[in-house]
Chains A and B, each alone.
Chain A
Amino acid sequence: MTHRWGMAIDLDRCTGCEACVAACHAENNIPISTPEQAATGRTTHWIRIDRYYEGAFPDVKVKYMPVLCQQCDEAPCEPVCPTYATYHNPEGLNVQVYNRCVGTFYCANNCPYTVRYFNWFDPVWPEPMQLQHNPDVAVRMAGVMEKCSFCIQRIKRGKDEAATAGQPVADGDIQPACVQSCPAEAMVFGDLNDPESKVSRMAESSRSTRLLEELGTKPKVFYLERGR
């Protein structure tokens, strides 16, 4: 049976600690964003924490929402790419092939979640951070688009290890960096084709919703709304 990877994020549990962001940077060789980049809108975070404020000072409530590539089944970024740099893989992942990307920016314009990030310059790391690159992930050059891959290198390794052991991939064996590092266990990753998996059960929850669902993009990231 083919897999259909998905994620569930319980917003009730999310504290906005940004451990997922840091883990993602380390896992996926994402350059460390500087204040200057932030001021010019040039930061890169495959997963980011969106903040929404409710109420007026001093009774302010901050609501956090981790936003990453929603791995849409009907991804608006895919048909517009002239070089198939972004395409749908057999496991339903929205894959970005850096080597094919010529940088038309069209995919990023057409992404309603604004989760695509561009390499404005060649990436640099402050010494000695360049020594801790993950060998499983390519470093992207200036001029290409990139985004969350659901840690496809971990998915591949997980499947390989299961195949070596002669067993099917067990639920929870594969964890993207963000899921693994979430101290509140707000994020769950798994196979949506397996009705018994934790992510499938969470997706069925009455609190489950998807971001900008009305656009018909069919995201595979499920947000569990906050209780009142």
Chain B
Amino acid sequence: MYSSIKQPELLPYGKIREDLFRPLSGMTKTYFAAILIPLLVILFGAYAWMAQLRYGMGVTGLQRPVFWGFYIVDFVFWIGISHAGTLISAILRLTDAGWRKPITRAAEAITVFALMIGGMFPIIHLGRAWYFYWLMPYPNSRLLWPNFRSPLLWDLTAIVTYVTGSVIYLYLPLIPDMAQLAEHNAPWRRKLYRALSLGWTGSDTEWHALERAMKLMAGIILAVAVSVHTVVAWDFAMAIAPMWHSSIFGPYFVVGAIFSGLAALMIVLALIRKLMGLELYLTRHHFDNLAKLLLLMSVLWLYFTMAEHLTVWYGNDPNEMVVFGARTRARFAPLFWLMVSVNFVVPFVLLGIRRLRSIGTGVIASVGILLGMFLERYIIVVPTLSNTRLPAATSTFYTPSWVEVAVTVATFAGMIVLYLLFSKLFPIVAVWEFKPHPHEDDL
């Protein structure tokens, strides 16, 4: 009956509420299985990490001189994914783009979960992970502050700020929905939602305050997001290692992060559209816009990759050229050229040609982009470390061990579990955004 309506905003509000609150109740077998299988994967990942804690970092594939491997790649990858929510939601909220409404919350949730996962990796990666709190600046019995000159400390600061900010940014637009849900629900849920709604009554003053808070947070979170991935890039750029020490790394990483974040968002949206039956709310229109954004980021990514590699090649510094050769011609060349094809060639064809652009091809391109961005980080981290400045110190090749692979796979499972739990507890599309504006009622 409503299938002819192209914009979800035009649906009657009663139906919107009905549709979007419905997935919260009930528990199907599929849902149960979908959460149980990833949980088993997580358990195995936890077992792998236990082995690492028990026996030492030797259970990983790390070695001299490749001291950073899959864990650091995972770290940069997940922090990159977290840029999905901020870009979509903050930029679109600030520019007041109408089409953002059904996708903001799904995006913001990705941000929070990806950050939680990414933030674990600097700890998992530590030789003595149980002392991770030594990196935190607080007055302690060791009478020693951490070293503020270390990029790792900037990292810690940036990520903690980003997690805090994005949790607030996810929470603020949840408040009106919480108030709606508190009215009618199972007793334990009613309690939860009432507590979370902070006594929201929906008065004019409250709406104005919320509106202002969201605008303010959108501005703040945007700046924080850009700075976070710049700081992540500086972990590499501040080092004197060949092909890490590059001033372009800050913006290069930010672009890569937004790129991979958008791809993740595309996949997640297509999944919840299918699984939760939200075809009326997440329409071709949204995916089309996302595809265009992906296309833009793909071209930007290519530009940065080219700028980075062209300057190194032209500069012809012997140490850098060894790494450049390893990336483009020698051992890592298959990975490098695979990265270029899935990050640029495939999306450019699938999303650039209008006739080919659809939800299905968008998802295919996005999966490729996620793989490509994982490869990109691998290609940045490993070839530089494998090719030391002193030729005699170059050692055997790094390959990740089962522990690193298990932990990596477990984080993807973790994302699935967190997302499934979130979508069971909270409406994945912000319902109140579709509410006729309070002032329109007054007129």
Residues of A with Cβ closer than 8 Å to B? 39-43, 50-52, 65, 67, 76, 79-84, 100-106, 108-110, 112-114, 117-122, 141-145, 211-212, 215
Contacts and interface: CB of A to CB of B under 8 A. Distances in A.
B164 interface: no
28 contacts: A51-B392, A79-B147, A79-B149, A79-B150, A80-B150, A81-B147, A81-B150, A82-B134, A82-B135, A82-B156, A84-B147, A100-B134, A103-B128, A104-B127, A105-B125, A106-B239, A109-B65, A109-B68, A112-B240, A112-B241, A112-B388, A114-B65, A114-B388, A114-B389, A118-B57, A120-B62, A121-B55, A142-B58
Given A113-B393, A120-B58, A121-B55, A102 B241 contact: no
B146 A82 contact: yes
Contact of B150 (A39, A105, A106, A122): A106
A119 B147 CA distance: 23
Given A41-B64, A80-B239, A82-B153, 4 more contacts: A82-B152, A101-B127, A103-B126, A114-B390
Given A50-B392, A79-B149, A42 B134 contact: no
Interface in B114-131: 122, 125-129, 131
A118 B150 contact: no
Contact of B144 (A84, A106, A108, A109): A84
Q: Please list the 3 inter-chain residue pairs (A to B) with the smallest Cβ-Cβ separation, ordered nearest first.
A: A103-B127, A120-B58, A41-B63
A110 B392 contact: no
B64 A110 contact: no
Nearest to B381: A109
A165 to B, nearest CB: 35
B385 interface: yes
A97 B430 CA distance: 52
Given A41-B396, A65-B392, A142-B57, A108 B65 contact: yes
Interface string B126-145: 11110110110000001010
Contacts of A100: 134, 142, 144
Contacts of B396: 39-41
Interface string B257-299: 0000000000000000000000000000000000000000000
Interface residues of B, number: 45
A77 B69 CA distance: 19
B390 A50 contact: yes
Interface of B: 55-58, 62-68, 122, 125-129, 131-132, 134-135, 142, 144, 146-147, 149-153, 156, 235, 238-241, 385, 388-393, 395-396
Contacts of A144: 127-128
Contacts of B56: 119-122, 142-143
Contacts of B132: 102
Contacts of B134: 82-83, 100, 102
Given A40-B396, A102-B132, A118-B67, A113 B390 contact: yes
A143 B385 CA distance: 19
B55 A142 contact: yes
Nearest to B398: A41
A106 B72 CA distance: 11
B437 to A, nearest CB: 49
B128 A102 contact: yes
A112 B153 CA distance: 22
A114 B57 contact: no
A145 B57 CA distance: 12
Nearest to B397: A41
A209 B23 CA distance: 72
A68 B63 CA distance: 18
A110 B147 contact: no
Contacts of A122: 56
A118 B149 CA distance: 22
B150 A82 contact: yes
Contacts of B393: 50, 67, 113-114
B392 A143 contact: no
B389 A113 contact: yes
A121 B149 CA distance: 29
A143 to B, nearest CB: 3
A114 B153 CA distance: 23
Given A41-B63, A106-B152, A121-B55, A143 B241 contact: no
A195 B85 CA distance: 63
Contacts of B142: 100
Nearest to B122: A104
Contact of A110 (B55, B58, B239): B239
Q: Which of A83, A101, A119 counts the most chain B CB atoms within 10 A?
A: A83
Contact of A118 (B64, B146, B238, B391): B64
B64 A143 contact: no
A112 B146 CA distance: 24
A109 B67 contact: yes
Contacts of A50: 390, 392-393
A41 B397 CA distance: 8
A151 to B, nearest CB: 22
A83 B238 contact: no
A117 B126 CA distance: 15
B389 A120 contact: no
B246 to A, nearest CB: 15
